[in-house]
Structure 1
Amino acid sequence: MAFPRLEHKGFLVSSGEKRNKSYTLPGMSLPDPEELFSTGAVNNINNMDLPHKELSLPHMESSLPHKEPSLPHIVSGTQTHRDTLGRLTPLSFSLPFIDSLEYISLDLRKKLEEIAKPAYENRRLEPEEMQLIIMKLCQSHYIRIDVLSILLNRSAKNLRQHHIKPLLDKQCLMMAFPQTPSHPNQGYTVRTLSQD
């Protein structure tokens, strides 16, 4: 394994345990669910459609401390936009994030509900069938555990213990926040070959 050696030499920093371990460069941090979902960090509308009014945002150069004048301004990554389907598009993720059914497009919501329908209507579903449904729901975006819970008509605890954990163990799913596996804002996506 190359990553543990790189970590031992100080080139990488790890978070998480065993198969859910993630590595970053020193000084960089993994996305934080508290930061991503904090009040004010998320726009509840598609802000790409909003006109920008530069004059309404005062920028007082003298009030900003600069230790190195040659460094560019770095805007905080907490401001998050939504795509045309209503999914969050945080800069720290390669895929969009479904954080609520309330904000996604009606077409996407209907598609997700149709995928989840067998689980929603049937309390006794074979684990393999439920896991297949979860994988379909998590395709091409991250989806928060509470959204999965609503779509599948199951508790988040039940989903985590009986269905998501086995999918994570088989490396079929990836967590959005591997450093906090049981966080209430945890999201999941299907692991693709390019993410290995």
Structure 2
Amino acid sequence: MGAENSKRKSSPKAAFKKKVCSFLNLSSPPRDISSQTIERAWKEKLDSDLFIQLQRVIFKSQNSITFESFSEFYYKLVEGTVDDKASVIFSIICSKGQENADLQTLRSYVKNVLNTLINLHRGNKEFSKWNDIGRLPEFYSCEDLATYITKDLPESFSQNKLENWYNSNGIFKNVSDYVYHSAFSVYEDHRTFIPLPVS
């Protein structure tokens, strides 16, 4: 899906391995990264439910992950193509081996990403803009906004369908990019911006 260059193979490079080390406050790449190390880096940034969702797909019931594998995850989610990012989202919301994902699971994930965005900016002017969604007739919570953002998807959908949705959904794509650039502390290297809640 997407442009032809979106199909290039994702592989960790020295530059973003250095970024991963910086994010984890490490002087050099270790062989393995423990779940406790990731929790320390993310516990103040991510919504707790989003952290659980990410932890599940990163560690796959193990207590650690190789640095190479985590760098690959970082690359796809933060610096990868639209299709890379959509494939990570699909792996988060869909059990291994399943061909289709469930709409309610995606909505839960979207809600958790939105909650993380609000938590990152609680108390500043960007937070007030997002907080205002509670005063709009259509949106009483991030859950309502998640329902709105995903309203064009069927109850069950394939990875290709998710890629098409993600590629065409400017609101969530911008929110997701901002959240993960912030989560990995690399937003200063990118021209990301805090998206408005509705457009």
Q: TM-score, normalised by structure 2?
A: 0.26
The structure whose RCO (Cα within 8 Å, separation 6+) is larger is: 2
In our comparison, the structure showing a higher alpha carbon Rg is: 1
Q: Which protein is richer in strand relative to its size?
A: 1
Q: TM-score, normalised by structure 1?
A: 0.26
Q: Which protein is richer in helix relative to its size?
A: 2
